[in-house]
Structure 1
């Protein structure tokens, strides 16, 4: 499914951004890694049921990072849009 490939590409972009060591606290970094793990688990399971917790978590992360880390927030927005297009 193209949306899943796009989502995986966006996760890879986020992973690359995190590897550049932006000034994040340990809790912020851990939060992003947990979100990424949840999204990857959703991809692997190919579960088409809506998971509001996952979408809410990504949305909260967007709000948390949009001021100090707009690039990360933009990638998270793309992830959220892709999840929505997948019906998640």
Structure 2
């Protein structure tokens, strides 16, 4: 009985973590997450540092157009591949 409760609690905790779009979960186990940049910010660069997602932005100019970027992970066997969508907006 204790074993079933422990398994159920573990499954619930994993489901909650996966549904939150956590950066570490997206990177390590695949999945999708979306980052909405502050208005009038332009994405310059994006990378992982350990389990943290780092992105470099700059202020948009009048000529800049808001875009949506896909940051995709490709693994050797195609398992646990994650996708981060970064959305720019302009006011």
- The TM-score with structure 2 as length reference comes to 0.26
Structure with more of its chain in strand, by fraction: 2
- The TM-score with structure 1 as length reference comes to 0.27
Structure whose CA Rg is larger: 2
Structure with more of its chain in helix, by fraction: 1
